[in-house]
Amino acid sequence: MKSKLTGLIAAPFTPMLEDGSLNLPMIETQANALSASGVQGAFICGTTGEGLSLTTEERLLVAEKWVATAPPQLRVIVHVGHNSLKESCELAAHAEHIGAHAIATMGSNFFRPANVEQLVQYCMEIAAAAPSLPFYFYHMPAMTGINFSMLDFLMTAGNRIPNLAGIKFTHENLMDYSQCVHFEEGRFNILFGRDEILLGSLAMGANGAVGSTYNYIAPVYLQLMTAFNAGDIRTARQHQLFAIEIISIMIRHGGLPAAKAIMKMIGIDCGPVRAPLQNLSAKQKEDLRQELKQAGMFSFLRQSGSTTPLAMA
């Protein structure tokens, strides 16, 4: 089994052209920018990457481009979740074939597993399709409606999925999170997935996290983690509060569509979102830019030595 993932793992946006087709050449720019910002990995085709809005063929192409162009130090984790188990297995086998670092899957969110045992059986088949890769379960109840104890999941799956590496834990239940982190003396890699409460997860023992805002304000979280590890909780709180303000602005302006607009503002144009998500109007984008400017995001990135061109700031 490969070493545990640590540090910041970005959940990249899938870049698209104005007509909604894939903009595959942009992926190399994204990968290089993430690596330069101190991010350790890319969790592709997940929620932020609009994975479930892409066709299987598109997901194969996106995965191939990420693996082919990411710098060696940037590890690529491919989300292979799908409501068709057969499609998930195909995506998993492909990720292994192209040399991805790991795979992850959320549970089927239309016909949902009724209990932990059913979820484990479902995951066993997907993990077995890529037996040489670390396998992560993607726990995100807010989107999937699947909300079992992840401690129970580890207890049930731990000795039945040989390549089980851990969980992408995108939930607010820090009690369950802490129990997973410390299960069997830290056997599994439990990556935290809520950017807005990263500090809370660090207090519970986190040493790796997956998030969407690591695409554009990674230096905030790196400084937060440095302060926490040095015992400077006051400074760590200040960085977390700053991140919360940026996240709040992004959410007020539409969530993922606003986040994609932010990427263009920092000079990495990931294009539009796909329906049913709705793109921001020109006025909405300008209002968003002004709020981010007032909050100090662009000046912070300049002061932190961001490598992005900050094209619209």
Q: What are phi and psi of 125, to 5 degrees?
A: -70, -40
Identify the CA nearest to 268 among candidates 221, 225, 295, 301.
301
Catalytic member of 138, 214, 216, 221: 138
Q: What are phi and psi for residue 71, nearest 5 degrees?
A: -55, 150
**Cα 47 to Cα 76, 89, 138, distances in angstroms:** 15, 19, 10
d(CA 279, CA 16): 12
Q: Is 48 annotated as a binding residue?
A: yes
Question: Is the N-terminal amide bond of 276 cis, ω within 30° of 0?
Answer: yes
CA 8 to CA 38: how far, in whole Å?
8
Q: Under a CB-based contact definition with an 8 Å cutoff, are residues 105 and 138 in contact?
A: yes
- Identify the active-site residue in 65, 168, 260, 285: 168
Is there a catalytic annotation at residue 138? yes
Residue 55 marked ligand-binding = no
Contact 108, 83 (CB under 8 A): yes
What are 279's two structure tokens?
């793109």
Q: How far is CA 71 from CA 43, 44, 258, 300, in A?
A: 14, 15, 27, 26
Q: Do 278 and 257 meet the contact criterion of CB atoms below 8 Å apart?
A: yes
105 φ, ψ to 5°? -145, 140
- C-beta separation of 260 from 13 below 8 A: yes
The token duo for 300 is 């912070």
Q: Is the dihedral of CA 289, 46, 8, 208 positive or negative?
A: positive
Bind-site residues for pyruvate: 48, 210
- Residues noted as catalytic: 138, 168
